[in-house]
Amino acid sequence: MGKHEVFATDILLVHQTFSEISGRVSRKGRRERKDCKAAGNRRADDSSLSSFAPSASFARTFFISENVYFLCLCLRQKKQKRISIKMKEAKMKKIIFSAILILFWIQTGYAHQLWVIKENGKFVVARGHIPDKTDKYNPVCVKEMKGFDKNGNPVSLERKDEESRAVFISDKDIAVMTVQCDWGFRVNTTQGKKLMNRQEARQAGFKVLDSFFSTQFLKSMFENSEGITKPLGLKFEIVPMKNPFQLASDESLPVQILFDGKPLADIAVSSEKDSEAVKTDKDGVAMIKIAEKGIRLISARHKVPVQNNPETDYLLFTAFLTVQGE
């Protein structure tokens, strides 16, 4: 408690004491006046009041206490004003924090997803939002695609890119495919994410918050196969620790997140079924709920800071795992 608060508390106690004395005098005077009136002595009424009226010194003391009480009220109002300001500041901080969370949710929720579409014997790398909202992109960004049969053996692929998408074909059945895409530099600005590097963004008049290089990895599973629970050598990879085609109803899928072949702890992993992300444990493992039908998507992100590079602040790696068979 501050010294002003202690002083105010003491003065209030003094005021209460004098108020009690004043009240007693007033009550006693009223009783005496009532008795005098009953006896028909009007003059006694006046004398009774004067005899029990507060003394001059008491009046001065009472006057002082009233002024001190006013001072106490001022101190209390000042304190309440400080509390009110602090409450407003706390409320504003809460609003700002909520806005940041909403912005993060929007950016996460509308981030481009990656999956493979089987289309008339072709395997098309799709970018957009599952299941059917696909966006155009430069197929040059698709750096690598590999196929594996149900025995886990590599399958040769022939690449036949189209104008705005990467396309691969094979004369053999493919159970699993992996894809790597380098999307290049991106910047987060006060007006949202822009598909350009830092210098281009500044020249365009944007206020840059940070700059990064985006790389995405995908593993698409079309049917049950050998080695489905083993890593396939992606730099950033989601590995199912149980066969996703054999999950019971409402059973969670254990997955392990690997970066350069090593488990990553404290990484947020999410799926299309569960809106809340789950953090990996010290072994890089998380339990994820997935849908029973359709394209089941699991995703994770990992940032690697970059030092002494004027063009980028960090490398952003995104891993996708899709289960697309029945």
- CA atoms of 52 and 296, how far apart (whole Å): 92
Give pLDDT tens digits for 299-318.
999 999 999 999 999 999 99
Q: DSSP alpha helices (H): ranges in 186-284?
A: 198-203
Give pLDDT tens digits for 108-147.
444 689 999 998 889 999 999 988 889 999 999 999 999 9
User: Where do we find the tokens 């054999």?
Assistant: 246
Task: Return the HEC string of 35-70.
Answer: HHHHHCCHHHHHHHHHHCCCCHHHHHHHHHHHHHHH
Task: Supply the pTM of this predicted model.
Answer: 0.67
pLDDT of residue 178: 98
Domain ranges for the chain, please list them: 3-108, 112-323
The percent of residues in the chain predicted with pLDDT above 90, rounded, is: 57
pLDDT of residue 106: 39
| Lowest-confidence region among 28-37, 100-109, 150-159, 312-321 | 100-109
Determine how many CB atoms are found less than 10 A away from the CB of residue 226.
Answer: 14
pLDDT of residue 67: 56
Give pLDDT tens digits for 69-85.
555 566 667 667 676 77
- Residue range 241-251: mean pLDDT, rounded: 91
pLDDT of residue 17: 46
Q: How far is residue 94 from each of residues 89, 99, 133, measured CA to CA in Å?
A: 9, 9, 35
- Residue range 79-103: mean pLDDT, rounded: 59
CB contact burial 287-323 (16+ within 10 A = b; e otherwise): ebbbeeeebbbbbbbbeeeeeeeeebbbebbbbbbbb
Residue 280 has pLDDT above 90, yes or no: yes
In degrees, to the nearest 5, what angle opens at C-alpha 293 toward C-alphas 289 and 295? 80
In sequence order, which residues have a C-beta less than 8 Å from that of residue 255 and are 6 or more positions away? 238, 239, 240, 241, 269, 285, 286, 288, 298, 321
pLDDT of residue 120: 86
